[in-house]
Amino acid sequence: NTNTDWESCFLNPPTTTTTTTTPPPPTTTVPTSCADGVGVGPSNTQTWVASTATTNACRDTVMAKHPTANGYSWKKGGGSCYAEFQMTHRNTNTDWESCFLNPPTTTTTTTTPPPPTTTVPTSCADGGGVGPSNT
């Protein structure tokens, strides 16, 4: 507050919170098949890549042109091939096949208390007023 009869200072800085989003590492092994890969991988972003004759050709093209994609969707019977980004699941559309290439991105939030103050402040800049307290 603004009571000039008192002066108060912080001895420890406030707690800080850090949020880190970590993308998955690139896939190092190429999936050779996609078990139960029925459906389109609905995602926040998908990019048309090419028309391909097979699902493996779609996979290889997506991995070559979009190494950060975490999946692909291919129109069965030869057709449109899409790179999937932020793919989390597949729907049940039997006209399409889709596979995951990388695991989903993870987000970790860590709250770190500040270290204790080891030095006593000798002055308090703009320390006017009483610090409110619950005790």
> Containing H/E element for 18?
strand 16-22
Q: Sorting pLDDT into bands at 50, 70 and 90, what band is 49? A: very high
Smallest Cα–Cα separation from 67: which of 34, 106, 33, 26?
Answer: 26
State whether residue 78 is helix, strand or coil.
coil
Q: Which whole number is the average pLDDT over 93-106?
A: 76
On whether the CB atoms of residues 104 and 70 are closer than 8 A, the answer is yes
* Torsion sign across C-alpha atoms 29, 32, 35, 37: positive
For residue 60, give the amino acid letter: D
Q: Is 83 exposed, middle or buried (0-12, 13-18, 19+ CB in 10 A)?
A: buried
Is this prediction's pTM over 0.85?
no
Q: Residue 122, Cα to own-chain centre: how many angstroms? A: 44
> Containing H/E element for 110?
strand 106-112
Q: Sorting pLDDT into bands at 50, 70 and 90, what band is 55? A: confident
Identify any residues that bridge with 17 across adjacent strands, giving them in sequence order. 111
State whether residue 125 is helix, strand or coil.
coil
Q: Which whole number is the average pLDDT over 99-121?
A: 65
